[in-house]
């Protein structure tokens, strides 16, 4: 790290040795102190949880329900004699129209984002295609893709899932749904305006924060309105224990507004400081918004479907507080080698590596829970998507930790390698988990089964093979690109020409993913128009 | 975990620690970095050009942050010395970038000072670099039958203009090129004044 710190910026080389030493000492002691404090904090959270039969983990089951698999099957296994199950049915009914609305929006943005992403990908190897249309130039259509995912698909699907799951976990019908309806309408109006602004070239100019701040005001109001029923329901809850999923979803819903507000205040940020803020936001919107929403879904649906409480409550605590503490500080690794203070970069690299702790805690916990129930991965559509997503969470997080190391970052930074990593996280993990959750929830809120197990399997394989091709090709291409750029004896143009075949493969992978999404949406429309009439059994997968 | 207050207080504390480190301390230390001697404020044409740069998303393929020699051969490629906070005193929003699908542009003005080259390259990058994957920007230009007074004609390599037409640059293209020509951070980082006194006293 010492050589890297010298390389980080010119100013760092001017620091006197004693100063450098004291900086390291301060950083080190601050780090040790904060990790100790974190462990004490986690310990305090597990008070009264010393007994092995962690009651909090069983809160998602009605009495006697452990051992019963719940899968998308409207009406099955609902013995109305059980008061808890009646409560759950009431909670589901209270959220149905709202969740349905969120999912419809999510589907629309998924298609928009797929089309924009595919166009951007093709434009990188066919640069003169559609060149006369300003809004289709790479710099704009790529940005439309990112924003349609970041503010369209991901939050609409994630918040829809949260609105469904939270009343179930709190055993309380949703309070104040009209607020969320209004909020979602405002949010979507804002996104339409925002994408339009980007298309005509109005942009705030910061990655992840392109939408003009005037429009951001609508997002803030819309988002706050969506949060109202979740807070009201929390206040009216009828359970004592807050389940793991509630920790993740609850905190995500408070973290995101802070991130979004601080990042978008006009005139507050400037120059290099703005760059540091930019990546504090850019990484935290992934780590403290989409990731917790998706992890909450895994923590709820995986145990629910296999009918077995999550293995270790203590590991859940470690995973949650570890993520909350470490993830927030990793953003600076996007600026390694850049003109920002050296200590900030070092801090972010250290915390990126520390992220391995919560990731392993999550992985071991889910693996232990799933042990002996692997057959459910074959039959349950939800579990198959969520299982894939969970694995990709581990893979992308571990990859991300190592990518922050200077030696890896020197090659991977500024290349398509990073783009591949981003898609492993936001698609392989978050999006796949959301797909799985939607397969579970839609039959519950619509009262209809999915019409065709074959279409679910097709969606899964198109998405899984698509992201695999996407990730593998861009990872290899990006790494070779980085090595070419680091070799001063090779002309820069080498790093461009060598990526050409990999960029084409990326378009192939992207096209497969898009086909999967079209199948998904068509299947949803079939369900709406009543093609599942007569199906009373859950749409479980048989072969594939 | 029993109490939602404890949960949210804990969660928000974690976020404040992160915000303190990544937002507040940089705000206090580097936000108002003094412009280095030799760094000129942008002219109004250059600022308009900067907006064109933002509007068309140049930042998604071009960084503006050369790295130190110990890190990468950026200087050897002619991209300039490693940049420091004082280089960005007039850069709001920042355009540091995270991709190098194309080369770093922090010193493009010094590397390529020709307005005609920039205009022609924006109209059709492949007229100058056959393997380039940069988009062409025909919508920043106009194909006309003849050049009118006040027009800036783009002199393209033969075969790249539509037959029988002349290519004329729009105001946006001219502003953008003005901005790129202003990207020249060749002045030294370490300012000279305090050094001689210190050396003399020693």
The pLDDT > 70 percentage for chain A reads: 90
Q: Quote the pTM value.
A: 0.92
Residue range A469-487: average pLDDT? 98
- The CA distance from A57 to A311, in Å, is 8
A446: closest CA among A95, A185, A176?
A95
Phi, then psi, of A183 in degrees rounded to 5:
-60, -45
Task: Answer yes or no: are the C-beta atoms of A414 and B79 closer than 8 Å.
Answer: no
Chain B: nearest CA to A7, how far in angstroms?
Answer: 5
User: Bridge partners of B167?
Assistant: B143
| Structure confidence at residue A20 (pLDDT) | 55
pLDDT band at A379 (very low <50, low <70, confident <90, very high): confident
Distance CA A286, CA A448 (A): 33
- Is the peptide bond prior to B20 cis by the omega test (within 30 degrees of 0)? no
pLDDT the model gives residue A87: 83
Contact yes or no for A500 and B102 at CB 8 A: no
Please report residues of B whose CB lies closer than 8 A to that of A15.
Answer: none
CATH 3.20.20.70 fits B9-182, yes or no: no
Contact A211, A169 (CB under 8 A): no
Q: Which of A461, A454, A310 is nearest to A385 (CA)?
A: A461
Length of chain A counted residue by residue: 544
Cα gap A341→A346, rounded to integer Å: 9
How many angstroms separate the CA atoms of A156 and A161, rounded?
Answer: 9
Mutate to test the interface with B, among A264, A272, A293, A408 (most CBs of B within 10 A): A272
Q: d(Cα A379, Cα A437) in Å, to the nearest integer? A: 15
CA A522 to chain centre: 24
Q: How many helices (H) and strands (E) does chain B have?
A: 7, 2
- Are residues A207 and B95, on separate chains, in Cβ contact within 8 Å? no
Is residue A12's pLDDT more than 70? no
Summary mean pLDDT of chain A: 89
Asked if the C-beta of A410 comes within 8 angstroms of chain B's C-beta atoms, the answer is: yes
Q: Cα-atom radius of gyration of chain B, to the nearest Å?
A: 23
| Segment A323-353, tens digit of pLDDT | 999 999 999 999 999 999 989 999 999 999 9
Model confidence at A188, pLDDT cuts 50, 70, 90, reads very high
Contacts of B68 in chain A (CB under 8 A): 6-10, 337
Distance from CA of B197 to the nearest CA of A (A): 18
Whether residue A248 has pLDDT greater than 90? yes
Q: What is the pLDDT of residues B128-163, one digit of tens each?
A: 999 999 999 999 999 999 999 999 999 999 999 999
CB contact under 8 A, A128 and B126: yes
Distance set, CA A468 to CA A149, A423, A437, A505, A508 (Å): 19, 10, 21, 11, 11
Q: Is A249 exposed, middle or buried (0-12, 13-18, 19+ CB in 10 A)?
A: buried
Please report the pLDDT score of residue A217 as a whole number: 96
Chain B residue with minimum CA distance to A494:
B131
Q: Which residues contact A383 (CB under 8 A, 6 or more apart)?
A: A301, A302, A305, A306, A376, A377, A436
Helix %, strand %, coil % of chain B (to 5): 40, 5, 55
Q: Smallest Cα–Cα separation from A397: which of A335, A461, A336, A351?
A: A351
Counting beta carbons within 10 angstroms of the beta carbon of residue B35, is it exposed (0 to 12), middle (13 to 18) or buried (19 or more)? middle
- Write the ipTM: 0.93
From residue A226, give the alpha-carbon distance in Å to each of A129, A145, A186, A190, A251. Answer: 41, 24, 10, 14, 14
Q: Which of A12, A213, A275, A345 would you mutate first to test chain B, the one with the most B CBs within 10 A?
A: A275
Best mutation target among B11, B42, B56, B162 (most A Cβ atoms within 10 Å) is B11
Tell me which residue in B11, B88, B136 faces A131 most closely, judged by beta carbons.
B136
At A279-326, the pLDDT tens digits run 999 999 999 999 999 999 999 999 999 989 998 888 998 999 999 999
* Percent of chain A topping pLDDT 90: 72
Which residues, including other chains, have CB under 8 Å from residue A533's CB and lie 6 or more apart? none
- Which residues are bridge partners to B141 per DSSP? B169
d(CA B92, CA A485): 28
Residues contacting B47, CB < 8 A, separation 6+: B179
What burial class does residue A20 get, using C-beta atoms within 10 Å of its C-beta: 0-12 exposed, 13-18 middle, 19+ buried? Answer: middle
Q: What is the pLDDT of residues A132-154, one digit of tens each?
A: 999 999 999 999 999 999 999 99
State whether B99 and A334 contact (CB < 8 Å). no
Quote the pLDDT of residue B1.
52
Q: What is the pLDDT of residues A196-218, one digit of tens each?
A: 999 999 999 999 999 999 999 99
pLDDT at A74 over 50: no
Overall average pLDDT of the A509-526 stretch: 97
pLDDT per position in chain B (202 positions), as tens? 557 888 888 899 999 999 999 999 999 998 988 999 999 999 999 999 999 999 999 999 999 999 999 999 999 999 999 999 999 999 999 999 999 999 999 999 999 999 999 999 999 999 999 999 999 999 999 999 999 999 999 999 999 999 999 999 999 999 999 999 999 999 998 765 554 444 444 4
Structure tokens at A521: 């949406």
């Amino acid at each position: 790290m010492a050589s890297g710190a010298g390389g980080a910026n010119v100013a760092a080389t001017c620091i006197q040795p004693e100063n450098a030493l004291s900086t390291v000492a301060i950083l080190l002691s601050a780090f040790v102190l904060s990790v100790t404090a974190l462990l004490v904090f986690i310990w305090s959270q597990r008070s009264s949880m010393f007994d092995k039969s962690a009651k909090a983990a069983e809160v998602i089951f009605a009495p006697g329900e452990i051992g019963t698999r719940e899968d998308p099957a409207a009406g099955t296994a609902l013995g109305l004699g059980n008061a808890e199950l009646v409560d759950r049915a009431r909670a589901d009914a209270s959220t149905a129209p709202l969740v349905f609305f969120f999912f419809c929006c999510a589907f629309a943005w998924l298609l928009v984002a797929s089309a924009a992403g595919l166009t951007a990908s093709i434009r990188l190897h066919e640069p003169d295609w559609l060149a006369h249309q300003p809004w289709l130039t790479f710099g704009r259509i790529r940005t439309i893709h990112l924003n349609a995912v970041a503010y369209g698909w991901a939050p609409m699907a994630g918040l829809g899932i949260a609105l469904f799951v939270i009343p179930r976990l709190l055993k309380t019908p949703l309070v104040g749904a009209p607020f969320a309806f209004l909020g979602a309408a405002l949010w979507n109006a804002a996104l339409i305006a925002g994408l339009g602004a980007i298309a005509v070239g109005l942009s705030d100019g910061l990655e992840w924060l392109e939408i003009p701040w005037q429009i951001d005001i609508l997002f803030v109001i819309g988002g706050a309105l969506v949060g109202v029923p979740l807070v009201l329901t929390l206040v009216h809850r009828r359970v004592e224990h807050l389940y793991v999923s509630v920790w993740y979803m609850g905190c995500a819903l408070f973290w995101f507004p802070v991130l979004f507000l601080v990042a978008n205040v006009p005139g507050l940020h400037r120059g290099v400081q703005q760059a540091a803020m930019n990546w504090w936001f850019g990484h935290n919107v992934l780590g403290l918004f989409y990731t917790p929403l998706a992890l909450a879904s895994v923590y709820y649906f995986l145990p629910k479907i296999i009918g077995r409480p999550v293995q270790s409550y203590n590991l859940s605590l470690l995973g949650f507080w570890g993520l909350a503490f470490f993830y927030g500080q990793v953003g600076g690794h996007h600026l390694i080698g850049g003109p920002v203070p050296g200590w900030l970069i070092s801090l972010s690299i250290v915390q990126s590596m520390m992220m391995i702790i919560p990731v392993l805690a999550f992985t071991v916990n889910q693996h232990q829970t799933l042990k002996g129930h692997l057959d459910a991965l074959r039959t349950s559509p939800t579990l198959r998507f969520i299982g894939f997503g969970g694995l990709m969470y581990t893979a992308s997080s571990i990859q991300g930790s190592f990518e922050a190391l200077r030696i890896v970052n020197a090659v991977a930074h500024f290349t398509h390698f990073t783009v591949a990593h981003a898609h492993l996280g936001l698609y392989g993990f978050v999006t796949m988990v959301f797909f799985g959750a939607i397969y579970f929830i839609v039959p519950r809120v619509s009262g209809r089964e999915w019409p065709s197990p074959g279409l679910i399997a097709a969606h899964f394989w198109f998405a899984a093979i698509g992201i695999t091709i996407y990730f593998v090709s861009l990872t290899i291409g990006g790494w070779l690109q980085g090595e070419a750029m680091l070799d001063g004896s090779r002309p820069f143009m080498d790093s461009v020409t060598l990526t050409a075949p990999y960029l084409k493969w990326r378009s192939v992978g992207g096209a497969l993913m898009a086909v999967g999404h079209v199948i998904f949406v068509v299947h949803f429309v079939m369900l709406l128009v009543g093609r599942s009439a007569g199906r009373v059994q859950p749409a479980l997968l048989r072969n594939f | 975990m029993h109490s939602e207050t404890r949960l949210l207080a804990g969660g928000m504390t974690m976020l404040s620690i992160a915000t303190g480190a990544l937002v507040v301390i940089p705000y206090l230390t580097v936000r108002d970095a003094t412009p280095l001697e030799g760094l000129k404020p942008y002219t109004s044409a250059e600022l308009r050009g900067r907006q064109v740069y933002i509007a068309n998303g140049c930042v998604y393929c071009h960084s503006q942050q050369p790295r130190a020699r110990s890190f990468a051969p950026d200087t050897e490629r002619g991209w300039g010395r490693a940049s420091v906070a004082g280089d960005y005193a007039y850069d709001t929003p920042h355009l540091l970038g995270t991709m190098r699908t194309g080369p770093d542009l922090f010193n493009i003005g010094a590397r390529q000072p020709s307005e005609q080259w920039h205009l022609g390259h924006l109209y059709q990058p492949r007229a100058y670099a056959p393997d380039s994957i940069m988009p062409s920007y025909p919508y920043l230009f106009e194909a006309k039958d003849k050049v009118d007074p006040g027009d800036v004609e783009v002199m393209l390599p033969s075969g790249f203009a539509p037959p029988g037409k002349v290519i004329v640059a729009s105001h946006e293209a001219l502003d953008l090129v003005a901005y790129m020509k202003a990207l020249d951070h060749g002045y030294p980082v370490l300012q000279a004044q305090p050094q001689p006194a210190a050396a003399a006293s020693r």
